[in-house]
Structure 1
Amino acid sequence: MSSINVEDELGRSYVNYAMSVIISRALPDVRDGLKPVQRRILYAMRVLNLSPDSSFVKCAKVTGQTSGDYHPHGDAVIYPTLVRMAQSWSLRYPLIQGQGNFGNIDGDSPAAQRYTECRLTPLAMELLEDLDRETVDWDDNYSNTLKEPKVLPSKFPNLVCNGSQGIAVGMATNLPPHNLTEVCNALLLRLEQPNSTLDQVMEVMPGPDFPTYGIIMGTKGIRSAYETGRGSIIMQAKTHIEPGEAGKSVIVVTEVPYQTNKENLVKNIAQLAKERKFDGIVGVQDYSDKRGMRIEIEIRRDVNPNKALNYLLKHTNLRTTFGAIMLSLVDFAPRTSPMLTMLDEYLKHRQIVIERRTRYELYRSLEELHVNEGYQIARRFLDEIITLIRASEDTGAARVGLVRSFNMSPLQANAVLAMPLRNLTRLQQQDLEEKFKEAARRVQNLLDILNDPERLKKVMSEEIVGLRDKHGDERRTRIQPREAGEFTEEDLIPDEEAIVSISRDGYIK
């Protein structure tokens, strides 16, 4: 038995707990933009072969596979994470395609996992591409019975495109999503011009692009977030004013700020009308349907609808602030990164992935060349080899005979023995030579990529362009250069005729 200081032990234990939460649960990796539970769900779905063209399977099967093999914390965490990755109003680019009730923008809960079904989206497949080509490091799962990837190859720049939210111990992250086309253009710019400035990057990627559309008011918050990793981005609903019945005006809301609960927004406006805190709102109705969002706010005819809108922008979630905190794990440590650093870290990761993939393909191509040489030996000494094989007691004896008599390597001998006899007799010298030349060209090309930084950069560029052309889309969120104006009490004074009388003594009545 030994004595310890309670204060010191509590300090050490709390630090260990905090770092465990930060690294293993709450913060995304800057390379693939995923938290461990998200990465494990996607990998489990890959193991289940849930590609975009496969059949849907029950979400309960996915959560069970994830929990049983990789994430032993129960489906209370796994299923909500899976659901969010399928919600088009939560992620700019959903990674899971859902079938069934996955909730809605009103905040309604999804159906139980035994009712819903899912499979991977095409962009999720881009995240997982080349995973079986030794492109990333692997780790033992919690039971030391299986392997799981420490990070995904991430051909899709998930962190910048989808953003991330998470609360750790003593820190939090809140990364805004961006448009894939613009992110790819920014990556190409940084790849070709490593010394490019933030102004140059913002010309091709002017700001966040939220899944719920809306309007960003001003660029000060964007620039602050991009420069320092922190900034306040003001978001506003898209509205317009229509004439209503009996001379009334109607404020129509067709887009709301990101992460705004539409049902709560309508209730809030209705409460303002009921309490007459602004004597001008008659009522509010939600006419949203599958065709799109439409909230109608009826304004009294003697009230300026623009002033009513200003009041609503100040007192409801028609205008909100997105507090950007660009915190992620960089080299397994939490770091708040400016946008240029985030782009560069992703490019660094992709360079490592492509180098490792190229080495893997080079090894396979060299192996193919070597086996091809063995086939050519077999073609030249076909009769002798067939006689040797028939005279051998077993495969092991035949292998030893090929190695000793024809100077083959064990790999070549195994390849020759694995080929059916009918195929062995059909080997054509011309075909073997063509395949040899093709493999030799492939080897030379792979060596060029590894030895020439410009060739490697070209491969990276081509993959980014291909991703952009295949999956890129139009920007959803409009950026208004003008900053959000301040609301004053004078805006509440209605425009109406008034009689002003002045007494002989100069008093105004």
Structure 2
Amino acid sequence: AVKGPDFPTGGIICGINGIRSAYETGKGSIKIQAVVFTEGLDDNDKGEKKNPRLIVKELPYQVNKANLVEDIARLVQDKKILEITNLRDESDRKGMRIVIELKKDSNVDVVLNNLYQHTKMRIFFGINLVAIDQGRPKTLNLKEIIKCFLDHRKDVVEKRIRYDLRKAKERAHILEGLKIALSNIDEVVQIIKKSKNVSMAHSKLKSRFGLSDIQAQAILDMKLQRLTSLETEKILEEYLELIKRIAYLEDILQNEKKLMLIIKEELL
């Protein structure tokens, strides 16, 4: 089942027709009302009736608490709701708490319905599901929006994987050149020593070992202290890991199910 909207300020959505319309057509109107509890409906220890209280704990989306309190106070002042005897805001860090005290014999349901009718404790919230589809704003239903989102995520993840693949191949290409150099280290050192300048050494390395410009430059940039058996082992380990990584990334790009699985895992 698809859940309804989860508004940051809470509130209760009344009925499902508005949500259904919004999800099926992209447009709809939903009724949201405040979450209200009652207190003081029981008799006290002496068998006397207490003053009932309405406690507002959550408000509909975009309803301002201070303005709501003013609206209720104005209704009392204008004598449109006669049962309210006191009104105060006891909200704190723990949450919202607007206290509406009533006369002892008040009909709580009637008062609450009047508040819903004359204040923003009940509102109608319009839903218009507009998204950018192929560069243009368009009203979409829920299924279409989900498809657009997944298409976007697929595009983002695919581009990221292609970028990672390109970087991995570039690094592997350099390591292949370093492997050749380390396997022929004495000859490489002699070529560099006998060359009049860097440009000549670069050219000779390329022609002698069939290296690319990038590979030859990487060899020339390598410091002598790195030319050890331990460093050779590290380069080989990195190269083998990159080969596995490249195969893994290429497999994802060739298998849409694996690509969608990554998208799913990133959403959870």
What TM-score results when the alignment is normalised by the length of structure 1? Answer: 0.49
Instruction: Name the SS for the 1:450 alignment partner.
Output: helix
Unaligned runs of 5+ in 2: none
| Aligned-partner Cα distance in 1 for 2:230–2:206 | 20
Which residue is equivalent to 1:210?
Answer: 7
Decide which of 94, 108, 120 is 1:305's aligned counterpart.
108
Which residue is equivalent to 2:63?
Answer: 260
Q: Which amino acid is 1:273 matched to?
A: V
1:322 aligns with 2:125: yes
| Aligned-partner Cα distance in 2 for 1:300–1:230 | 43
1:392 aligns with 2:195: yes
Instruction: Name the SS for the 1:374 alignment partner.
Output: helix
Cα deviation digits, residues 185-222 of structure 1 (max 9, x gap)? xxxxxxxxxxxxxxxxxx1x311001111211111111
1:222 aligns with 2:25: no
1:232 aligns with 2:35: no
| Aligned-partner Cα distance in 1 for 2:140–2:182 | 60
Aligned length: 262
Instruction: Name the SS for the 1:240 alignment partner.
Output: strand
Cα deviation digits, residues 6-53 of structure 1 (max 9, x gap)? xxxxxxxxxxxxxxxxxxxxxxxxxxxxxxxxxxxxxxxxxxxxxxxx
1:365 aligns with 2:162: no
| Aligned-partner Cα distance in 1 for 2:83–2:231 | 89
Greater helix percent: which structure?
2
Which residue is equivalent to 2:254?
Answer: 451
RMSD: 1.8
Instruction: Name the SS for the 2:227 alignment partner.
Output: helix
Q: Which amino acid is 1:267 matched to?
A: E
Q: Which has the larger radius of gyration?
A: 2
Cα deviation digits, residues 358-397 of structure 1 (max 9, x gap)? 1111111212221111111111111221222233344333
1:375 aligns with 2:172: no
Decide which of 70, 88, 92 is 1:289's aligned counterpart.
92
Q: State the percentage of identical aligned residues.
A: 39
- CA separation of 1:427 and 1:408: change in aligned 2, threshold 3 A: farther
| Aligned-partner Cα distance in 2 for 1:441–1:247 | 75
CA deviation after TM superposition for structure 1 residue 426, in Å: 4.6
Cα deviation digits, residues 55-96 of structure 1 (max 9, x gap)? xxxxxxxxxxxxxxxxxxxxxxxxxxxxxxxxxxxxxxxxxx
| Aligned-partner Cα distance in 2 for 1:394–1:301 | 101
Cα deviation digits, residues 443-483 of structure 1 (max 9, x gap)? 11111111111221222222222xxxxxxxxxxxxxxxxxx
Preserved CA contact (<8 Å) 2:18 2:29 = yes
Preserved CA contact (<8 Å) 1:379 1:428 = no
1:241 aligns with 2:44: no
CA deviation after TM superposition for structure 1 residue 320, in Å: 1.0
Q: Which amino acid is 1:313 matched to?
A: Y
Instruction: Name the SS for the 2:39 alignment partner.
Output: strand
Q: Which amino acid is 2:205 matched to?
A: L
Instruction: Name the SS for the 2:225 alignment partner.
Output: helix
- CA separation of 1:425 and 1:401: change in aligned 2, threshold 3 A: farther
Preserved CA contact (<8 Å) 1:328 1:335 = yes
Preserved CA contact (<8 Å) 1:251 1:297 = yes
CA deviation after TM superposition for structure 1 residue 432, in Å: 3.4
Unaligned runs of 5+ in 1: 1-202, 466-509
| Aligned-partner Cα distance in 1 for 2:192–2:222 | 12
CA deviation after TM superposition for structure 1 residue 425, in Å: 3.7
CA deviation after TM superposition for structure 1 residue 430, in Å: 4.0
